Amino acid sequence: MLLKLLVLDSISIISVYESKIYAVLKMTEFERELVKSFNTFFAENGIKGIAFRLKQHRFSHQYLDIVVDSLHPDYYLGIECKSISTDKGAKALYFTQHFTTDKNGSHQVERMSDYLRLSGRKGFLAIELRQGVGRGRNAYAIPWNIVTERFDEGGNGFKVEEIMEFPDIKRSGGLYRIETKKWVNE
C-alpha cells in the first residue's frame, strides 16, 4: 500500500492510494485560520492538544470540518465551519442550502450530532460572515446543541441577525482568539 499526498497549493491536496487518485476538497481560508489559531494557542499556552481538518473526499461524507483533540475537556471539540457572503445578499444560513444530505437521506446535522455523541466531544458551528471587499469578516460560534434543537424543531436555519447574537470569534493579530468556554454551552 502506497499513500502519497500531492500538495497543489496551500489548500488543495490530491491523495494517491494504491494507484487510485482521490481529489480532496479544498480547505477554506476560514477553516485553515481556525486550525492555525488553535494550534498556536496550544503551543503558546503549553497545552497538549492539536487541531486538524478532516480531509473530505469527493464521494464520501465528512462528519465535521475541524477536530480538536486534547485531554483538557474544554478543547475536546468537533467544529463545523460555514461561510456566507452577506455582501452578495445572503440573509441566512439554511439547513437545506448550506448543509448536505447523503444518498441515504442522512442530513449533515444528524451525522455530526451522532459523531459528537459517540465521541464525547463538545461541538459548535463556526460561521463566517463575509461582508465584501474592504470590509471585515466576522465569525460567530453557535453551540451544537442549539443547532440540533433548531434542526429537530423543523427550523430553516439561522438568520444573519440571529447569528450575530451568538458569541463572536474575535480576531487578534491575524489569528482567532480561542475562547471555547464562551462558544460552547453544553
Say whether pLDDT at 15 is over 60.
Answer: no
Q: What is the CATH number of the domain that holds 133?
A: 3.40.1350.10
Characterize the bridge pairing of strands 49-53 and 77-85: unpaired
Is 16 a domain residue? no
Is 19 a domain residue? no
Is 18 a domain residue? no
Is 4 a domain residue? no
Q: Domain range for residue 69?
A: 28-183
Of 104, 108, 137, nearest to 125 by C-alpha is 108
Is 23 a domain residue? no
Strand order in the sheet with 13-17: 3-7, 13-17, 20-24
List, for residues 126-185, the tens digit of each pLDDT value. Answer: 999 988 777 778 899 999 999 999 999 999 999 999 999 999 998 888 888 888 877 766
Say whether pLDDT at 23 is over 70.
Answer: no
Residue type, 93: L
The three-point CA angle 161-170-135 to 5° equals: 65
Phi, psi angle pair for 37, to nearest 5°? -65, -45
Is 13 a domain residue? no
Q: What is the pLDDT of residue 4?
A: 40
Check if the beta carbon of residue 62 is closer than 8 Å to that of residue 56: yes
Q: What is the pLDDT of residue 16?
A: 41
Joined together, the cell numbers standing for residue 97 give 442550502
Q: How far apart are CA 168 and CA 129, in angstroms?
A: 11
Domain count, the chain: 1
Q: How far apart are CA 125 and CA 183, in angstroms?
A: 9
Is 12 a domain residue? no
Is 5 a domain residue? no
Answer with the residue of higher pLDDT: 180 or 67: 67
Q: What is the pLDDT of residue 61?
A: 64
Q: What is the pLDDT of residue 1?
A: 36
